[in-house]
């Protein structure tokens, strides 16, 4: 009887941990479209966002490598990338980009372009994060050079 009681407690403990793990909230809000688009990658995506947002440079490099997020979810992923850049700052975000291959940087830039449809593309954004935008290969906004 005692052995069964211990097993029940252990099982309950693991179930609670599993439920709590699946309820981790992302540091940056994620749309339902993006959550659906990520499918079974959602949990890893949230873990990497949270680690990245808390200053983990290795997690940020891994997060920047996310690809194959299609349709409307790609726009939302672009928005998340821009929000993450704002959260971690220009120095850390640009350093992470420098750890990617040129092809991977192009993918990030494409998602940024999609995210700009949600964000307003402004001089202020470009001027607050000049290192990031230079690594991404931006030189102007609609023909107007940024500093």
Using one digit for the tens of pLDDT, what is the confidence trace for 53-74?
999 999 999 999 999 887 789 9
118 by DSSP, 3-state: which? coil
Q: Considering the domain boundaries, does residue 17 fall inside one? A: no
In a domain, 72, yes or no: yes
Residue 15 token pair = 């179930």
Name the pTM for this structure.
0.79
- CATH classification of the domain holding 130: 1.25.40
Residue 121 lies in a domain: yes
Q: Is residue 1 part of a domain?
A: no
Instruction: Give the domain range for residue 33.
Output: 26-145
Mean pLDDT highest for which of 9-13, 36-40, 87-91? 87-91
Confirm whether 114 is domain-assigned: yes
Helix axes 72-88, 42-53, angle to 10 degrees: 20
11 domain-assigned: no
CB 69 within 8 A of CB 77: yes
Count of structural domains within the chain: 1
Does the residue 39 lie in any domain? yes
Confidence tier at 17 by pLDDT (50, 70, 90): very low
Is 16 inside any structural domain? no
């Amino acid at each position: 009887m005692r052995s069964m009681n211990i097993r029940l407690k252990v099982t309950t403990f693991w179930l609670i941990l599993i439920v709590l793990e699946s309820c981790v909230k992302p540091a940056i809000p994620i749309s339902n479209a993006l959550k659906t688009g990520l499918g079974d990658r959602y949990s890893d995506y949230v873990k990497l966002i949270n680690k990245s947002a808390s200053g983990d440079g290795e997690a940020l490099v891994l997060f920047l490598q996310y690809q194959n997020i299609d349709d409307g979810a790609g726009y939302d992923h672009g928005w998340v990338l821009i929000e993450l850049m704002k959260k971690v700052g220009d120095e850390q975000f640009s350093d992470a980009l420098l750890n990617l291959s040129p092809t991977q940087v192009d993918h990030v830039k494409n998602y940024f372009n999609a995210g700009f449809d949600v964000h307003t593309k402004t001089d202020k954004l470009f001027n607050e994060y000049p290192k990031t935008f230079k690594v991404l290969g931006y030189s102007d906004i609609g023909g107007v050079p940024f500093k």
